[in-house]
C-alpha cells in the first residue's frame, strides 16, 4: 500500500507571518493538530498545537503578538506520495512524529499522513508499533 492511498488529500498552507490566533482557529475548525508553513512555494516548517502551547503560551508570550515563524518547528520531515506506507510509518516511528506532510514527484505538497491514517489502514502490528514508539517520544 502506498502513502497516497491513505493520506488526507490536500492541506492548507499558511505563511510564516500568519498570526497564531488564525492558525489556532483553522486547527479548531478543521479538527487538525498541525499545519504546514510555506514561503515562496516551499515548505519551511510546521506548526502543531503542541508548538503553540510549548513554544508560545507556556513561555508567557502574547497570543496576539505571535506569528507562525515564532513557534514553528523544523527541520522539515516529510514523505513521498508514492512511498510504501510501511516505510513512511517506520520513518514516523524513528522520528517520533504524529504527522508528515506528503509531497509528490514534483516536490509539491499534496496531503498529510497522520497516525490516524496509519491506524485506519495499516496492519494491527504496524499501527501499534508506530503509535507506541511515537507516544514514547512524547511521554
How far apart CA 36 and CA 10 sit, in angstroms, is 11
Predicted TM-score (pTM) of the model is: 0.75
Here the CATH number for the domain that contains residue 105 is 3.10.580.10
pLDDT digits (tens, 9 = 90+) for 29-85: 988 888 999 988 788 999 999 999 988 888 888 888 999 999 998 778 999 999 999
pLDDT tier, 124 (very low <50, low <70, confident <90, very high otherwise): low
Cell 490566533: give the residue: 21
74 lies in which domain range? 3-137
The total number of structural domains in the chain stands at 1
What is the Cα Rg of the chain in Å? 15
CA distances, 44 to each of 15, 53, 76, 109, 118 (Å): 9, 20, 7, 12, 24
Amino acid at each position: 500500500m502506498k502513502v497516497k492511498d491513505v493520506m488526507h488529500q490536500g492541506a492548507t498552507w499558511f505563511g510564516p507571518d500568519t498570526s497564531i490566533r488564525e492558525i489556532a482557529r483553522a486547527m479548531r475548525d478543521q479538527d487538525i493538530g498541525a499545519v504546514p508553513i510555506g514561503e515562496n512555494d516551499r515548505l519551511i516548517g510546521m506548526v502543531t498545537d503542541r508548538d503553540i502551547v510549548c513554544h508560545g503560551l507556556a513561555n508567557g508570550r502574547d497570543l496576539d503578538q505571535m506569528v507562525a515563524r515564532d513557534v514553528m518547528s523544523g527541520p522539515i520531515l516529510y514523505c513521498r506520495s508514492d512511498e510504501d506506507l510501511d516505510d513512511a510509518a517506520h520513518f514516523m516511528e524513528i522520528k517520533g512524529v504524529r504527522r508528515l506532510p506528503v509531497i509528490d514527484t514534483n516536490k509539491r505538497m499534496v496531503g498529510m499522513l497522520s497516525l490516524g491514517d496509519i491506524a485506519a489502514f495499516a496492519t494491527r502490528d504496524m499501527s501499534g508499533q508506530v503509535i507506541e514508539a511515537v507516544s514514547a517520544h512524547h511521554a
